[in-house]
Structure 1
Amino acid sequence: MHTRHLPLAFVLAAGVVATPTSPLIAEAAAQYQSASSVDRMIERAFDDVLGRRPDSREMRLYRSRVYDDDWSERDIRNELRRQRDERDRYGNGNNGGYGSGYGGNYNDNGRPSSQDVDRVITRAYQDILGRDPDTQGLREYRRRMIDDGWSERQVRDALRRSNEKAELNDADIDRMITRAYRDVLERAPDPAGLSDFRNQVKRKGWTESDVRQALRESPEYREKNTMTEAKARDIVRNAYRSVLGRDPDPGADVYVQKVLREKWTERDVANELRKSDEYRNRR
């Protein structure tokens, strides 16, 4: 009797003797523990990146990414950060811009719908090859995902094995690294950083996402992005001035707390102010 996919409670209910040496119990217990570890990993990523716990749909989705596509905790964190950054930049997205592993629309089996496939492929190309997909490549990987059921992981693995990836020149790599620096640290790379990341890309196969993740783990990024009350008040003040044309009043403290505790951005505050009577009366 094979128990790889049986929950521990089911195995126990089947009348198996629960002895410490029972291989059946040991295997089921290991599986149960592994599933719990995956859930904790997902919850930890959500808490660190978004400051909240995943809902049941998000938990199912990212379990699928881990089990089916071999995602690591770094992959989950990168995806959550990408969606958070996209939401902050454009102010849109399903579920507030969070919680999707490919873009927001899924079939019942957890695979991306056809409308998300092109975005998945484009993101993989930009991350690994530093460019948008060409027509032929887009068509080929679209067919692979829709007709053959390929996952994002398989698309990325294929791109990593491509001749183009192996032949990336220093100029291409430097553009990729510079783009990551400007987006994450809001500055150009210093010579030492550029050289170090160039070696990581060439020798260890790092992608742009790997570079971005390393930059987000740097002391410089943590120092810049540690939220303080003074920074939160600056964010709220900027939102008030841009939307209402004035400095915040004492009632704005509620938004300061939103920034501190719920990781609201200036865009979040501005969007909320646009719902106010004061804003509507100014128009």
Structure 2
Amino acid sequence: RNDPYYRNDRYYRNDRYYRNDRYYRNDNNNRYYRRRYSYDDINRIYREVLGRDADRQGLRTWSDRLQQGRSLNDIRRDIANSAEARAAVNQIYREVLGREADANGLRTWTNRLSRGDSLSEIRRQIERSEEASFRRSTNQPPRIPPIFRY
């Protein structure tokens, strides 16, 4: 791979490396370090999946599960399948398409969230859909040439 962080079948970033979404520190692998970085990772997942920072209770709960051996992928999947994530996708449907999300669409986009897409990427993809472009084209006011404007 040409990725500068990828060496010897491990993904390195700063002074930690990732293997199967569990991270290890190369030196001084202490509890404070793991909890601090687990907070950063969980907060990143919250921002990508829910579009907001994690609250204190969420950080503590998910960090404890990470310390118990759950992977970041498991945690991301659980957060993406939460009622709040479904509500966020439904809100995008209302704003972009002007309707509620159907069950198939909701399942599709929450699966994409759990696999690594962010909420902003989901919004962009929905905005680029045929339904959204049709809705934009039918809701546009008629274009009046500048010569006829007052």
TM-score, structure 1 as length reference: 0.29
Please show how residues 213-224 of structure 1 align to structure 2 within 5 Å.
213-224=77-88
CA contact (8 A) 2:96 2:126 kept: yes
User: SS of 1:189's equivalent?
Assistant: coil
Q: What's the offset of the Cα at 1:265?
A: 0.4
What CA RMSD, in Å, does the superposition of the two structures yield over aligned residues?
3.9
CA offsets per residue over residues 63-96 of structure 1, 9 Å max, x none? xxxxxxxxxxxxxxxxxxxxxxxxxxxxxxxxxx
Partner of 1:176: 41
Q: Which has the higher helix share?
A: 1
CA offsets per residue over residues 191-232 of structure 1, 9 Å max, x none? 11110111111222x3332221111122222233347xxx64
CA offsets per residue over residues 109-145 of structure 1, 9 Å max, x none? xxxxxxxx45xxx6xxxxxxxxx82xxxx23228xxx
Q: What's the offset of the Cα at 1:176?
A: 0.6
Q: What's the offset of the Cα at 1:271?
A: 8.7
Q: 1:260 to 1:203 in 2, by over 3 A?
A: closer
Partner of 2:53: 188
Partner of 1:141: 9
The counterpart of 2:126, out of the listed 265, 269, 283, is: 265
Partner of 2:115: none
Q: 1:267 to 1:182 in 2, by over 3 A?
A: same
User: Which protein shows a greater Rg?
Assistant: 1
CA contact (8 A) 1:178 1:189 kept: yes
Q: 1:225 to 1:233 in 2, by over 3 A?
A: closer
Q: What's the offset of the Cα at 1:266?
A: 1.1
Moved over 3 A (4+): 159-168, 259-264, 269-273
Q: What's the offset of the Cα at 1:164?
A: 4.0
Counterpart-to-counterpart distance in 2, 1:170 and 1:212:
17
Which structure is richer in relative contact order (CA contacts within 8 A, separation 6 or more)?
Answer: 2
User: SS of 2:52's equivalent?
Assistant: coil
Partner of 1:46: none
CA offsets per residue over residues 248-268 of structure 1, 9 Å max, x none? xxxxxxxx7xx7588460133
CA contact (8 A) 1:181 1:188 kept: yes
CA contact (8 A) 2:127 2:133 kept: no
Q: Percent identity?
A: 23
Does the alignment pair 1:156 with 2:24?
no
Please show how residues 1-283 of structure 1 align to structure 2 within 5 Å.
117-118=1-2, 133=5, 138-141=6-9, 156-157=19-20, 160=22, 162-164=24-26, 167=30, 168-204=33-69, 206-226=70-90, 232=93, 234-236=95-97, 263=105, 265-269=126-130, 272=133
